[in-house]
Structure 1
């Protein structure tokens, strides 16, 4: 691992980005160009101290998952992501099968959706990138985690939705995963997730046996946010050409109570994601 080169690459990459490039407000005038360390850490889902040590050439060896998160946070191209992996002494991810690298153009679209919760995920539910509104809606960053696994194994995630909606959401998750697993029998990731959840969740195992099949499409979802209350949001699903990555966008119809609450969430929720001091 070349800590000196890694630190230099991270610092220069951070300096090239403006807050607007990643969907953040500029805020107060900045003494130096680029994103703050706090902002990169939040986008990558890591602690500020951990990221700071990487930039100071004294951090531990990042995991492959952490490297992928940094590549997304800093909006790396495929070549830049590969260089990042090489600096740490890791082989870059293979490009065959489902790619975990989100193209910069798709990330640019994600960042421009500053007033709507949006995220990019694989077709079997791994979250690859989120904008700030998605984090505000869900209460924490979900990049690197799987929405289907979390729904069936984490009570806090289920609590984001009204209890009366749980049965339909569960059926939809299972039916989607079955469709993906059947469409790509040689891909080990969906099959591995199915095996794990059949052992971990009695509810998932029961629904899996019903053999329902569905592809993720536009729908309406209700969210229970602890600050702004209940939101009823339209869920639009946009496919990339290979159909292995999805852009999920949640919107509210103008003039509705949910639209007003979504606007409030943008103000209240994003305050927690903005650094309190103008420092690097």
Structure 2
């Protein structure tokens, strides 16, 4: 699942940028995940591959300079909620746009408190870890996503971070493994091979995010290579693409599988058993 314009992370460039590439990758992975969810729920491979998109969005929230939350974010988040109710799915957890909004609101606090000292850094990790299950009841991915938001902030301000590189790497590795572990528990019938693939994919993604740098490929633009326009469009209109594709997928799923997506027959909590334990 994804977001867009999620971030005004850089000035609009007429050339392809590293942001465009990273967001386009996240979008492709997200679509794979949603194809699996809506149309091929028994194909767990699609879900495993697709779940690798989520850390990218939260990382970019932390990496962004902007802390603005445009009105469009709230509007799109509510549009997705309405589509969820119409298609007979669960109201809670609220969609990922809400979680990304919360992450953007929290990122400065997370960064400031985590970097006070080594104990505070470790404490922040465990705070977000232990809050993960309760928060999953109410918003998609819960505070697990905030771990990747903190990753993004750490890399954006890497010149100001005095923490040892080994500690930062340990945080990346631990966050990635916890994410894989929790998502694996939520995916039914995950095989050993799929789990290993998930872990390996998360390792590769962690390296990619750790090494991410803003850059512009000035020689790669629409004039020199017209197909690049698609990548640039995906990278700069991801919020709109996210919402539009969900609306289309839900409409089609309601026609093809009305037993799963029954018009207006929504439920309130997807994790009602977990909620009862918390209460």
Q: TM-score, normalised by structure 2?
A: 0.27
**Larger relative contact order, structure 1 or 2 (CA cutoff 8 Å, min sep 6):** 2
Q: TM-score, normalised by structure 1?
A: 0.27
Which structure shows the higher helix fraction?
2
